[in-house]
Amino acid sequence: MAPPPQRTKRKPVPRHRPRGDNSRARPEPREDGPQRIAKLLARAGIASRRDVERMIAEGRIALNGEKLATPATLLTDLSGVTVDGKPVRPAAATRLFRFYKPQGTITAARDPAGRATIYDRLPPGLPRVMPVGRLDFMTEGLLLLTNDGELKRKLELPRTAVVRQYRARAFGHVTQAQLDRLAEGITIEGIHYGSIIANLERRTSRNFWIELSLTEGKNREVRRVLAHLGLQVSRLIRTAYGPLSLDGLEPCDADEVPQVDLDAFRAALK
């Protein structure tokens, strides 16, 4: 059996420094002026913008007792807004956490099949948080959590091109030349996957360890791309998301990203 990847011993988590799309975005209201209610509720951690829009369509959100008809309603704050009849608390300061998601958990609040969720494994004392993106059931490693739905959305958007880094242990045979071609992108069964930078890290008697960097979050992307190359992934670990790494965390550990690092990360997204 191949040895697990090297892991640093427990130590104080170092401060992370952000690394340094030109896609056109629809202009939004000024940050110091009225904002769409969907954006304000997302920032308050109620739900993502898309989920807020669905909740409005379901008649679950009201302003001064009147059900809202559109998520485009502009407000300066959430005074008088209720969700399911309950007043919305003012948005708390934005917080971001690193969490080492263990294998065998789903990235959701609940599972109809009764499987363990990340919320079953979070340490006590965390505020209400939402995951940034997803890691599939058997993938482990860095999962960012935030109480700010707007930050969650921005970190997930393809146009922000935040780099995700992984280490994969895979059985089979592959050459570096084959991995290099992934940088051009690849289409598998009608689904296009963007550029992936992949490097052979080391080889054991029966397995390869491969390092991968990508800027998308498509479902099971790494596993599907490597399977297309004839490799069977037996372990997959996300090691970094943007400037934040897994360093210093053990499975089920979580810690808060320092405010100075959070501010730098957010600034780099603009």
Structure confidence by residue, pLDDT tens digits, 213-268: 999 988 999 999 999 999 999 999 999 999 999 999 999 999 999 999 999 999 99
Same fold, 96-159+243-269 and 163-241: yes
Question: How far, in Å, CA of 145 to CA of 43, rounded?
Answer: 14
Task: Determine the topology of domain 163-241 in CATH.
Answer: Alpha-Beta Plaits (3.30.70)
Task: Determine the topology of domain 35-87 in CATH.
Answer: 3.10.290
Q: What is the DSSP string of 46-103?
A: S--HHHHHHHHHTT-EEETTEE---TT-EESS-TTEEETTEEPPPPPPP-EEEEEEPS
Over the Cα atoms of the chain, what is R_g?
A: 20
Examine the pLDDT at 21 and tell me if it is beyond 80. no
Mean pLDDT to the nearest integer, 69-76: 90
CATH of domain 96-159+243-269: 3.30.70.580
Residues annotated catalytic, as ranges? 136
Quickly state the pLDDT bin for 200 (edges 50, 70, 90).
very high
For 27-53, the pLDDT digits (tens) are 444 455 788 898 888 878 788 888 899
Give just the sign of the alpha carbon dihedral 264, 128, 66, 57: positive
Mean residue pLDDT of the chain comes to 86
Angle formed by the axes of helices 149-156 and 49-57, to 10°?
120
Q: What is the DSSP letter of 107?
A: S
Considering only residues 12 and 56, tell me which one the structure prediction assigns the higher pLDDT: 56
Both structure tokens of 145: 């959590």
- In this prediction, residue 32 carries a pLDDT of 57
- In this prediction, residue 47 carries a pLDDT of 82
The domain ranges of the chain are 35-87, 96-159+243-269, 163-241
Give the position of tokens 């100075």.
260
